[in-house]
A and B are shown apart, each in its own frame.
Chain A
Amino acid sequence: MANIPAELRSLPLEHIVGSPLVAAIKAQALAAKTTVDFIKEVGLKPDDSWTAVDDQSGYEARYVEFKFDRLVEERDTSTDPPTTVQKIVPSKLTVPMLSIVPIPYLRINDMTIDFEYQIRDVETSESTSETKISTSAKMNGWFYKVQLKGSFTYRTANKRETDRRSTLKITVNAVQDEIPEGLARVLDILSDAMKVVPISEGTVVTTPTGGSGET
C-alpha cells in the first residue's frame, strides 16, 4: 500500500456513501430554512406590538394594495320594467403578499452516486465466544428455583478498505415540492382575507336596458 496517499489510506466506504447522504439532508434542511426566510422577508413584517411563542417578536402579514377599475352591473328594480346599468367602479384590492407569490420549496427527489472504488485491503477479524448454558432446577414444596447461566455468541468482522481514486459523480434531482400542510392552511386563511373595496361611486358606461337585463 505504499503508493496510496495517506489521506485516502483510511477512507472507509461507508463515509463515501454516507457523506453525500448527509450532505443531501443538510441541503434539504437549508432549502427549508430558505423557504422560511423567504416567507418572513417577503410575506411578513415584524410587529413589536405583540410577542409570539418562545418570546420571539410577532409578525404581521404583509399586504399589497391594487387600484383598478371594476366593471359592475347594477339592476334597478325600482323602475318598470327593471333596468340594468353597467358602471365602472374604481376599486381597491387588498391581497396578502404570500397568496400571490409562489413560495420556493425544493425537495431532493432522488440522488445518484456513481463512483469507482478500489478495494485495497480487507481486514477481517472474527471473535467467537461461547459459554455453556447450565441449568439446574430444584423443587422444594411449593416453589422451585431455576438457575440459568447463559451467554451469547458474538461475532464481528472488521474491515479496512482504502481507495486510491477519488472520482465521485453525484446526480441530484431536486423538484418543487408541495408546500407543507400547515403552510397551505395559512395561505387559505390569507386568501380568504382578500377583499375588494370600492373607492368611489362608479361611472355609468352603458345606457339602461330594460326587461331581464340582457343586452
Chain B
Amino acid sequence: MKSSLKKLIALVGMTVLAVSSLHAQDSGALVEALVKKGVLTDQEGEEIRADLTKEYATTSAGKLNVSSHITQLKLYGDGRLRYEYVGQEGQNNGQNNSHNWRARYRIRVGADYVFTDNFKAGFELESSTDNDSANQSFGNGFGKSSINVGLIYLQYKPWDFVTLTGGKMKNPLYTTDLVWDADINPEGAAEVFSWDINDQFTIGVTAAQFNYTENSDSAGLTGSSSSKMLDSWIYAGQLPMTYKFSKDIKATFAPGFMTTTGNNGSTIVTGSPSITNTVSATNLNVITAPGDVQFKLFNQKTKFYWDLAYNMSGESRVHQTYGIVNQNNSLEDSVAWLVGLQVGDNKKKGDWLVGVDFRQTGLGAVDPNLADSDFGNGNLNQQGVKIRTGYNFTDFLQGNITYFNTWNYKENIATTGQTPNNVSGLNGVNATSRLQLDVVWKF
C-alpha cells in the first residue's frame, strides 16, 4: 500500500515538475506533510525528495547555480524594431529643413536580484550610450553596435516605508516626459519614504541627489569663477500623494522641486539629441507639479494626466545660458506644461491603448538634456501634440504607433545680430514632425 502511494506521490511530483520546475519546493512540502502524518516513512520521503530534486536538476532552472543569499532572481529584456520619420522645418526660408526615414532597433537585457536582509540590486545592458535612448540605426554597413550599462543599482529597505537606492537607477521621481525622458536612468542616490495613512490615502517623500556631470577637481581650481569646471548635481525633492476614491478611481499629485548646481563650465554632453549637447547646467530651479486621475471609461482603464514645470530662474537661463540678452522675457519662457488623456492598457494579449497629450515648453523652463528627446526633436520653445496607440498581439508582442507634431511656441527668439531661433536649445528649428512605427517584444 505504502509502496503504491510512494509511486503515486513520485508521479504527482514529476507531473508538477513537468508543468513548472518552480514547483519542486511545493512537492517537497507535500512530502513533508505526508511524512508528518505517517503516510510515508522518513526514508521513503527522502528518496522521493531526492528523485524530485534530481528531476528538477535536469530542468533549465535546476542548472542555474544561484547563491543562497539571493531569494529571487528576475531576468528580463525587450527588443524593438522601429521605422521612423523625422522631419524638421528650419528658420531662414528653409535653410535648416530636413526629413528622413530610417529603420532602428533597440535591445535591453537586465536582471533584478532580491537578496536576504532586505537588499535588492539590478543591472541592465542597453544598445546605446545615449542617456535618453537605446536606439541604433540600421544601415551602417552591417556594423555592430556596442552593449552599454544602462542600470546598475543597489537598494536597501530597512523598513517597509523606506527604500534607499544608490547607483544608476530607474528614475525614483513621479514625473512625465515633459521634464524627464522616460529612458533616462539617473545616477546618484535616492531616498523614498511612503506611508499608508489609511486604506485610501498614501503620502510620501522622495529625495534624490543625482551626479549630473563629473569634472576633475583640479580643473575646478583654475580659471575664472565662471569657467571653472565644477561638478554638477541635481537635487530633487517631491511629496507624492495618492488618494483612492473607490476601487476604480484614484488620484495622484506629486509637487516637487529640483535644482541643478554647476556653472557655465559644467556643460552637459548627453549624445542625444546631439543638437543640444552643450547646454550648461545653470539657472535651473524648477518647481514641478505632475499628477493624474485614473478611472474607468467604457470599462477601459483611463488616465487623465498633467505636468507643470516652472523655472524660478527662467529669465536668467534665457539671458545668461542661452545669451538672448534683448529678448523680452515673459512667464511663457519659464513655464512648461502638458495635459493628456490615455485610454486602455497594453499588458496582455488583446489589450489596446490610445493616448494624446498637448504641451508647451518655454525656452527657459526645463533642461533640454532631460526632457523628451522625441518631442520637438529635443528642442525647447516648442508646442504641439503627441499621439500614440498600441495593440498587444500576444502577451509579449505589441505594436505601437506614435506621432509628434510641434511648432514654435514663441516666434523669432534672438538677440541682436543672431539668426532667429538659432541659439543652443533651439538650433534654428521652426517646426517638427516625427512618426514612429514600433514592434516590441518582451522576454
Chains A and B bind each other? no
- Which residues of B line the A interface, CB within 8 A? none
- Which residues of A line the B interface, CB within 8 A? none
